[in-house]
Structure 1
């Protein structure tokens, strides 16, 4: 079977302690990346380093507090590079993406009037649906739904224009589906929404470990991701255009910091996690090798990752055709691999998703089953009450041998 890329993950795998885990004498296969990736030693060291050094709360006129401020500023700058934001003050940290989205939805809802409209999609994780449904319910705003094609599980952007009008205030849209891997042309969607006068929030949680993010090119108003999906700690990161973060009223205790970023960060941050965020961004950048700015390295690294992951997808999809009774949902056309991430929702006729995941787990192959909070996706596919699907997710530290191993295991289940 021909590979699309000479990328070799083996040297990178050595940096991940968790990837050395063995079960019954065989190395464990982590195919649960869409639910959270493992972390390299550099991230672990960065978090331990902060705690070992001794930190204090931010804003104090003494050494340990100044150290905390340095760690926070470094993380803000790292995520500025990761997102290609214009300035560090456009980066906001929070407990997780869901918490940040609830905070943002509450703030934006203050600017809406009864009869206004928002658009959510059936392809999104519920963390980019429920916050907006609740906010709309609170202030009498109409919710419009953008559907996806159940055949290839791609968002129906051709229907977006029909939903947009002068009353539309927000489009909340996914960059890539955490369930079926489909990538959305969010730049085009943003252009359409802005032409109608609506703001755009992009959920990039699933896309971030697989493709380059450039908020300036996208021109989105807000974008959210979670560092634990790209080899970092459990921290959510919000990008917002400076003028919007500055103008909106954040729900926060008094007095709120003057700078927009701090204004949106509630309570004391997990500073050790922020040290890990910087290390995670630096790890991804290091894949490109030496030379250039961190942003330039990120651009190169993400291209290498994408090319290699397309090869993993190719190998999996070709092998899947040889597994009896196995169905892969979403894009399966080899000519369309650029339109999906290496995340596959599958089913085996006659077996529940739970039983498949359990049997694989017994063999040291870790996959998720159920709806993985993509509730609207499973409902649209008619599978929500049937136990959902099995999700097999590859990232750049996975190998072709691991692809073969899960395919062999799936073939033997029946």
Structure 2
């Protein structure tokens, strides 16, 4: 295996500050190739698309390259299935508004307690406006898992959308999605999968997931702040007609992208996908083939660190981990330290050179289902550039705080 975490870390300027960056679920740092790609795009000169000159053609080329890169990353069949937007939240609202146009009283949407609120509230709000019913699948508060049956029993003949996460941003749970997306398709419903926390920690194959739409945010996997929603089949986009300006493109996915795309940021997206594809230096072949090899190497590295983290937390008296999935999960731990407020713990860790998140992390339904309330807890989330030393530093600091 050609994955060397120290060589990977050397590509990230931010990591040179000596801190342990354990907040990957809130956003990863950016490697030199991405920084350079964005800078180079600006240096070369960019113009809006449609012009008969080089800088305009360069921008159009960057957009096309970025669609192709995202398609390779998630295993999409066609780059034309990739829609860009500023954030996953903004894109979800955009798709919710479009899909809900045909909803009527008596129709239903299915959401879950496991999801980030960005894949709950847009659907709930548009359902309320249409008079449609909202059905919420409950998670298991002991394990933090989302039992498949809890979702399947809510999907019926009046279901219009099933919104479900591929990986919890709070506790790391990775539900079994295929039975859910299959059932949604059987009843004619659309499945909208939040892959924001899933994409950084799995080798994504849309065909295996079966989602009609899959959302990802590049700043969660070493890219710039930009998001994409990928359709399982471009035909799905062709049959949706969002609100748009009259002279805006009629073609998809362009008609979903409001205004001018951020061309330099998209150049960074391409560089980020290339970076991920090259994390295992033994990987060869096409970008998709290199991604398959490199993602496998990264997953092995993260699994080892996750074991160290989870076992270490379990050994600490006074530290309670919320949600301990028995099945697949990302290297994310959500916990509290006895007698200490989550924000106070995060601040104390920050003083010790450790970056972690605290609060509800916008997993609004989940923090209530887990019984911790809006104050939430502390979240430590590992990335491909995390090291065993980072985890050891965290565990040692928590042992001191819990004493």
Equivalent in 349, 358, 366 of residue 369 of structure 1: 358
Equivalent in 309, 312, 328 of residue 316 of structure 1: 309
Give the conservation status (yes or no) of the 8 Å contact 1:89–1:259.
no
Q: Distance in 1 between matches of 2:148 and 2:255?
A: 34
Equivalent in 14, 20, 38 of residue 18 of structure 1: 14
- 2:211 maps to what in 1? 220
Give the conservation status (yes or no) of the 8 Å contact 1:94–1:100.
yes
Equivalent in 393, 396, 399 of residue 408 of structure 1: 396
Please give the per-residue CA displacement for 1:110-152, whole angstroms capped at 9, x wherever unaligned: 1212210010000000000111011101111100001100000
Q: Distance in 2 between matches of 1:322 and 1:157?
A: 31
CA separation of 1:332/1:77 partners in 2, compared to 1, >3 Å: closer, same or farther? closer
- 2:5 maps to what in 1? 9
How far off its partner does 1:256 sit? 3.2
Q: Distance in 2 between matches of 1:217 and 1:42?
A: 31
Query: Are 2:276 and 1:284 equivalent residues in the alignment?
Result: yes
Please give the per-residue CA displacement for 1:213-234, whole angstroms capped at 9, x wherever unaligned: 1112222110101000000000
Could you list the runs of 5+ residues in structure 2 that have no partner in the other structure? none
- 1:351 maps to what in 2? 340
3-state SS of 2:324 partner: coil
3-state SS of 2:219 partner: helix
Of stretches 233-242 and 323-332 in structure 1, the one that deviates more from structure 2 is 323-332
- 2:188 maps to what in 1? 197
- 2:111 maps to what in 1? 120
How far off its partner does 1:195 sit? 2.0
3-state SS of 2:215 partner: strand
- 1:66 maps to what in 2? 57
CA separation of 1:78/1:305 partners in 2, compared to 1, >3 Å: closer, same or farther? same
How far off its partner does 1:7 sit? 4.8
Q: Distance in 2 between matches of 1:172 and 1:323?
A: 36
How far off its partner does 1:323 sit? 1.6
TM-score (norm 2): 0.97
CA separation of 1:298/1:6 partners in 2, compared to 1, >3 Å: closer, same or farther? closer
- 1:243 maps to what in 2? 235
How far off its partner does 1:332 sit? 5.9
Give the conservation status (yes or no) of the 8 Å contact 2:335–2:377.
yes
Give the conservation status (yes or no) of the 8 Å contact 2:144–2:325.
no
Equivalent in 293, 296, 320 of residue 300 of structure 1: 293
Of stretches 192-201 and 169-178 in structure 1, the one that deviates more from structure 2 is 192-201
How far off its partner does 1:159 sit? 2.1
Could you list the runs of 5+ residues in structure 1 that have no partner in the other structure? 22-26
Q: Distance in 1 between matches of 2:76 and 2:278?
A: 20
- 1:24 maps to what in 2? none
3-state SS of 1:350 partner: coil
Please give the per-residue CA displacement for 1:275-318, whole angstroms capped at 9, x wherever unaligned: 00000000000113342111111111111111111100111122
Give the conservation status (yes or no) of the 8 Å contact 2:2–2:280.
no
Give the conservation status (yes or no) of the 8 Å contact 1:331–1:340.
no
Query: Are 2:30 and 1:42 equivalent residues in the alignment?
Result: no
CA separation of 1:300/1:332 partners in 2, compared to 1, >3 Å: closer, same or farther? same
Q: Distance in 2 between matches of 1:85 and 1:256?
A: 25
Q: Distance in 2 between matches of 1:261 and 1:332?
A: 37
Q: Distance in 1 between matches of 2:208 and 2:373?
A: 36
3-state SS of 1:209 partner: helix
Give the conservation status (yes or no) of the 8 Å contact 2:69–2:273.
yes
Query: Are 2:100 and 1:100 equivalent residues in the alignment?
Result: no
- The 5-angstrom pairing of residues 21-32 of structure 1 reads 21=17, 27-32=18-23
Q: Distance in 2 between matches of 1:160 and 1:125?
A: 16
Give the conservation status (yes or no) of the 8 Å contact 1:75–1:275.
yes
How many residues are matched?
400
Query: Are 2:250 and 1:258 equivalent residues in the alignment?
Result: yes
Give the conservation status (yes or no) of the 8 Å contact 1:6–1:308.
no
Give the conservation status (yes or no) of the 8 Å contact 2:25–2:381.
yes
Q: Distance in 1 between matches of 2:107 and 2:302?
A: 41
Q: Distance in 2 between matches of 1:332 and 1:224?
A: 23
TM-score (norm 1): 0.94
Please give the per-residue CA displacement for 1:383-413, whole angstroms capped at 9, x wherever unaligned: 224x110000011101111111100000001
CA separation of 1:7/1:50 partners in 2, compared to 1, >3 Å: closer, same or farther? closer
Of stretches 288-297 and 43-52 in structure 1, the one that deviates more from structure 2 is 288-297
Q: Distance in 1 between matches of 2:320 and 2:4?
A: 29
